[in-house]
Amino acid sequence: MPNRSASPTPVAILSALLQEQQGLMELLHRPQKVAHAGRDFWLGELHGRPVVLALSKIGKVAAATTATALIERFGVRRMVFTGVAGGLGAGVNVGDVVVASDFVQHDLDASPLFPRYEVPLYGRSRFEGDAALTALLFKAASAALGDGGIGGAGAAFAGARAHLGLIASGDRFVSGASESRGLHAALTGAGHEVLAVEMEGAAVAQVCHDYGVPFAAVRTISDRADDSAHVDFPRFVEEVASRYAHAIVEKLLLSLEP
Ligand code: ADE
């Protein structure tokens, strides 16, 4: 059994919303709060491993600030995001889990100077998750779902599936069937086969790319980004999201090498 507490650098676990972080906070050993950059960072141990829990806040800029602070101030060398997303791809249903293979910013458009979706001066439109960390996260998510549902949430989401694929991020809560169809069609038409939409992941992926910090993200589908998304989203966040985050992160931390 490796001595996990020997690890010098904590793993960062980022959530967008307090409700999503709740289940992790309850398990944090030796919690120590550090206020920095208008945020509370929680240092402690989860399953014997040093971690920093942080809220990304909502939107790409806020998430980039949190990610940068985690790297610069807290010295994290691995970052994991847990949160919720709207399902965009066919067969990506409420209660399913999407682990990001990579990210695109669906609201980035510097055309005609650069191709639609391309991040100017990076020569690319997508940022990948770290292959090894993402594989472990996908395994953890699949195992958590396979345990017959997550923390009592399973009954409501029997048959929930784990997917691995592209996630689109943008500064917009997508809550209309025609908008989500349009978003899906535009991205697919540009060669981006997207599974889910949220508001932070691509920003964190870009920051981690800049610093060379391995990053992986998992999103539970809280809504279908359609006309009832604004009702489904808060209900899911209140009732289910923290149990998903807790179950998946536990399995991931137990599987990490020091
Ligand atoms: N996060 C969860 N659901 C979402 C949606 N429909 N749009 C953007 N971000 C989300």
| Tally of structural domains, the chain | 1
Local confidence band at 243 (pLDDT 50, 70, 90 cut-offs): confident
51 within domain boundaries: no
Mean pLDDT of 177-201: 98
121 within domain boundaries: yes
Report pLDDT for 241. 85
Mean pLDDT of 114-122: 97
Å from CA of 198 to ligand 1 middle:
5
For all residues of the chain together, what is the average pLDDT? 92
196 lines ligand 1 (CB under 6 A): no
116 within domain boundaries: yes
Report pLDDT for 8. 62
Q: Tell me, what CATH number does 145's domain have?
A: 3.40.50.1580
56 within domain boundaries: no
Compute CA 254 distance to the chain's CA centroid, rounded to the nearest angstrom: 19
Q: What angle do CA 73, 209, 64 make, to 5 degrees?
A: 50
**40 included as an active-site residue:** no
Claim: this prediction has a pTM higher than 0.85: yes
Torsion from C-alpha of 130, 131, 136, 138, nearest 10 degrees: 100
Q: Among 32, 72, 37, which Cα is nearest to 51's?
A: 32
229 lines ligand 1 (CB under 6 A): yes
Which residue has the least CA distance to atom 4 on ligand 1? 86
Position 206: which residue type?
Q
Report pLDDT for 4. 44
62 within domain boundaries: no
What is the residue whose two structure tokens read 């066919």? 90
Strand partners, 217: 81
Find out whether 174 and 181 touch, Cβ atoms under 8 Å: no
Å from CA of 230 to ligand 1 middle:
9
Q: Which one is catalytic: 96, 102, 198, 223?
A: 223
Express each pLDDT in 1-51 by its tens digit.
Answer: 444 444 468 999 999 889 888 889 989 999 999 999 999 999 999 999 999
Mean pLDDT of 105-122: 98
64 within domain boundaries: no
Report pLDDT for 75. 96
Find out whether 108 and 117 touch, Cβ atoms under 8 Å: yes
87 lines ligand 1 (CB under 6 A): no
Å from CA of 182 to ligand 1 middle:
15
Q: Which of 20, 198, 238 most suits a substitution to test ligand 1, by most atoms within 8 Å of the C-beta?
A: 198
**257 included as an active-site residue:** no
88 within domain boundaries: yes
Torsion from C-alpha of 149, 150, 154, 156, nearest 10 degrees: -160
98 lines ligand 1 (CB under 6 A): no
* Domain assignment of residue 189, given as a range: 84-255
84 lines ligand 1 (CB under 6 A): yes
32 within domain boundaries: no
Å from CA of 3 to ligand 1 middle:
39
Q: Which of 82, 84, 179 most suits a substitution to test ligand 1, by most atoms within 8 Å of the C-beta?
A: 84
Mean pLDDT of 176-197: 97
Using H for helix, E for strand and C for coil, what is the string for the chain? Answer: CCCHHHCCCCEEEEECCHHHHHHHHHHCEEEEEEEECCEEEEEEEECCEEEEEEECCCCHHHHHHHHHHHHHCCCCCEEEEEEEEEECCCCCCCCCEEEEEEEEECCCCCCCCCCCCCECCCCECEEECCHHHHHHHHHHHHHHHHCCCCCCCHHHHCCCCEEEEEEEECCCCCCCHHHHHHHHHHHHHCCCCEEEEECCHHHHHHHHHHHCCCEEEEEEEEECCCCCHHHHHHHHHHHHHHHHHHHHHHHHHHHCCC
Which residue has the least CA distance to atom 6 on ligand 1? 225
